[in-house]
A and B are shown apart, each in its own frame.
Chain A
Amino acid sequence: MMDQEITAQLKKIDWFEELPDKMLFGLATKVRRRKLDKNEVLFNKGEEGDSLFVINAGWVKVVTKDTKGGEVVLNQVGAGEIIGEMALLDNEPRSAGVVALEDTTVLELKRDDFMDILKLQPDLALSVIRNFSSRLRYSTQYIEMITDMTQRVAQGDYSFIGDTQPGQLRRKSLSDQDKIGQLLAEFFAMVQGVKQREDELKKQVMKLTLQIDEAKRRQEFEEITSTDFYANLKQQAKKLRKQRTDRN
């Protein structure tokens, strides 16, 4: 692949968009191109991560495991998107695994190479900081939105569902690190589900189901009215009412 083509790819990454072309070109020379077959593992959760990947062509899935060991797909990532950029800055193990969904090409940038350029190019460091700052700002906004929604749901107010476009909850296509945005989207979907179930439940309890066993009703009536006491009472009641009416 031509370095120029790689440069164009790198330019799409937030961190690098403000970097001068000359610097980008320098960065591009360090980038290694890797081909993945369908179902090939790029890296596993828990592995030590020391490089960033840009998807050049194809699709990968970001996966983790549930408590029973089954695969849970967190996200699908396609051309132009980045995976594992945090690994360039910290030494933490990979927080999720990545597997190719089809034949895929990725561009790999190693941490050591990135650090070398960072030392030579303070503007790149600034750009990275700005990117983090903006991400933090978005995260804060997302947290505020989740807080607001939580308070409203607690009060039984679901009115915001109608006013919210689920699309606007995601700033842009997600990298696997953009967990807060993902949480917000999932949270919103959960609220929709809760509201729907609550509506269904309301429909169920709203209507009374009045049932009377007519045979039992007749039987009990006959048991009470078939006694001598009752026959006598009925007679007396008639007389009494008549007396009281006559007196008035």
Chain B
Amino acid sequence: MGKIISIHSFRGGTGKSNSTANLAALVALQDKRVGIVDTDIQSPGIHVLFGLDAKNMGKTINDFLHGKCEIGEVAYPVGDKAANSPGRSNLAGKKLWLFPSSIHGREIGQILREGYDVNLLNTGLQTLMKEFELDYLFIDTHPGLNEETLLSIAISDMLIIILRPDNQDFQGTAVTVDIARSLDVPKLLLMVNKAVPGYDYNDMKNQIEGAFNAQLAGIMPLNFELANNASKDLFAISTPNHEWSRELKKVADAILSAD
């Protein structure tokens, strides 16, 4: 039975899209069938990590939500488009599909103005799971707790919350954790990103796990190399020995070993 995994953060700037893309790639490298849906329709970004831009982008989630195409037509087969970048080239032949949101301002504006049927998105996601026989479907959500984010949490088998180690993120994460429990999400994982060096990471892990009563799967340090990479490649694949990549691997392992 395939799993739907929502990746969420209460505020923007946590490195959510980057983490989601790298996690999905790490899982796909374990010969799992993996899909990534970009439901961050307001500010899509994950496509860049898979070398997708305005020129080569085909149908999008927006087209599906406007009834212009079937959801399966949105699929961008990452494994078939093996790029020659150091990270992505490892994904050649892997079963990984990206379902991107439109990056055209007009189409983003239209969906923000008119809204869309949240139930249609739900039906679409369930269809993807079946048609592509996915083991894992990652949903890259919009930060905050709007309707489509609540929907993706509601239908998820696992929710991964990415947070920075600061009190604003702790506050928002607390509310998200409460919502996830209220919606009976079976599995909850936390991961810290952009941790400043010099902290006692064991102490951090204990405090966060204690406060939210949930597993903290990885603490990823503030990574300037990743920032310099400017989201152009999959850092955890191209630079697997970096601490950031090793911690993200722990999160991937936690996903793979979950019931």
Residue positions of A touching B, CB distance < 8 A: 202, 205-213, 216-217, 220-221, 224-225, 229-230, 233-234, 236-238, 240-241, 244-245, 248
Q: A210-B167, A210-B207 are in contact. Are A238 and B184 (CB under 8 A)?
A: yes
**B151, B170, B203, most chain A CB atoms within 10 A:** B170
On whether the beta carbons of B183 and A233 are closer than 8 Å, the reply is: yes
Q: A44–B190 Cα gap in the complex (Å)?
A: 70
Task: Determine if B155 is an interface residue (Cβ-Cβ < 8 Å).
Answer: yes
Instruction: Fill in one digit per residue for B138-160: 1 if any A CB lies within 8 Å of its CB, else 0.
Output: 00000001010011001100000
| B147-190 residues at the A interface, CB under 8 angstroms | 147, 150-151, 154-155, 165, 167, 170-171, 174-175, 178-179, 182-184
On whether the beta carbons of B204 and A220 are closer than 8 Å, the reply is: no
Task: Determine if B30 is an interface residue (Cβ-Cβ < 8 Å).
Answer: no
Across the interface, name the chain B residue whose C-beta is closest to A236.
Answer: B154
On whether the beta carbons of A244 and B198 are closer than 8 Å, the reply is: no
Shortest beta-carbon distance from A233 to chain B in Å:
5
Across the interface, name the chain B residue whose C-beta is closest to A201.
Answer: B198
Residue positions of B touching A, CB distance < 8 A: 1, 119, 122, 126, 145, 147, 150-151, 154-155, 165, 167, 170-171, 174-175, 178-179, 182-184, 196, 198-200, 203-204, 207-208, 211
On whether the beta carbons of A234 and B1 are closer than 8 Å, the reply is: no
On whether the beta carbons of A221 and B178 are closer than 8 Å, the reply is: yes
On whether the beta carbons of B183 and A237 are closer than 8 Å, the reply is: yes
6 A-B pairs in the complex with CB atoms less than 8 angstroms apart = A205-B198, A207-B200, A211-B170, A224-B175, A229-B150, A245-B1
Across the interface, name the chain A residue whose C-beta is closest to B179.
Answer: A224
On whether the beta carbons of A237 and B198 are closer than 8 Å, the reply is: no
Q: 8 closest A-B pairs (Cβ-Cβ)?
A: A237-B154, A248-B1, A206-B200, A220-B175, A221-B178, A217-B174, A208-B204, A205-B198
A206 contact from B154, B155, B175, B199, Cβ within 8 A: B199
B155 contact from A210, A213, A224, A237, Cβ within 8 A: A237
**A213, A216, A217, A237, most chain B CB atoms within 10 A:** A237
